[in-house]
Amino acid sequence: MINGAHVIIYTTDAEADRAFLRDVLGWPYADAGHGWLIFGTPPAEVACHPAESGGAHELILMCDDLTATMADLRGKGVEFTRPVEELSWGVITGIRLPGGGDIGLYEPRHPRPPAA
């Protein structure tokens, strides 16, 4: 039985991005050895979107109140990579990771499934 998912963020600065997840987002973690941190995450959802070619994946974090979450993260020095966009399914922006990557942050406005 599948009991979870493991997300990998490929980055040019793993140490900086690990520090971001640990210190800015405050996620719990286990040290797998030699500073290799594995983070516990909030509950997750998976959606399949049509695309011209397969293989691309995206990480988008969710919150209950995008405005309040952005204010909290700004206070911790987080840079946002795109303007807030209101869409039929939610409100979204982007977060710059210290390693140079970009992940999404959104407040969903669609029905939420129960946890598996």
Q: What percent of the chain has pLDDT over 70?
A: 98
- CATH code of the domain in which 60 resides: 3.10.180.10
Q: What is the DSSP code (8-state) at residue 82? A: E
Give the amino acid at 98: P
pTM of the entire predicted model: 0.84
Is the per-residue pLDDT at 73 higher than 90? yes
* Number of domains into which the chain is organized: 1
- Strands 80-87, 90-96: pairing kind: antiparallel
Helix (H) or strand (E) holding 19: helix 14-19
What's the average model confidence in pLDDT over 80-88? 95
Position 102 in a domain: yes
Model confidence at 72, pLDDT cuts 50, 70, 90, reads very high
Q: Is residue 115 a part of any domain in this protein?
A: no
Is 114 domain-assigned? no
Residue 75, pLDDT > 80, answer yes
Q: What is the pLDDT of residue 111?
A: 81
Q: Is residue 101 part of a domain?
A: yes
DSSP 51-75: -SSS-----EEE-S-HHHHHHHHHT
Alpha-carbon gap, residue 87 to 32, rounded angstroms: 39
- pLDDT tens digits along 14-70: 999 999 999 999 999 999 998 889 999 998 888 888 888 877 788 999 999 999 999
Cα angle 36-41-46, degrees, rounded to a multiple of 5: 115
